[in-house]
Amino acid sequence: MIIGFSFVRDRHVFENPMITSFYGVPPGHNHLFEYGLSMKLAIDRRFLKVCRWYCDLLLFKAFHEPVDMNLKNLFEVRISRYWLFSVQTRVIYEHEVSGHLQLENLASFGFCFRL
């Protein structure tokens, strides 16, 4: 369980008519109390000594709000001792930022060595 508390000491920030909220605190109030549930899942697995899969999932559910999700998937294949190919996918959903599902894909090929 996650608990958040925001307090606005100087209420002059609300004198600007463009300010609809300040760190989530609405005009006419001086504080905001939030709570919700959070879950984090991290998986890091190696297969056949040349493949690696990394998954990082973060879910957050605030009270009376939809679930926010941040998922990162990374798949790496070591082609030779120094060459690496990877594919990364990120899926993000945050209702406050955008009501749409955001998707990002990245493929890379590069030279890699360890010291």
pLDDT digits (tens, 9 = 90+) for 49-84: 899 999 999 998 887 888 889 999 999 999 998 999
For every residue of 69-112, DSSP letters joined together read: EEEEEEEEEE-SSSEEEEEEEEEEE-TTT-SS-EEEEEEEEEE-
DSSP class per residue in 35-63: EEEEEEEEEEEEETTTEEEEEEEEEEEET
Range(s) of the domain holding residue 99: 2-111
How many domains is the chain partitioned into structurally? 1
> Which neighbouring-strand residues pair with 25?
22
Is this structure's pTM higher than 0.85? no
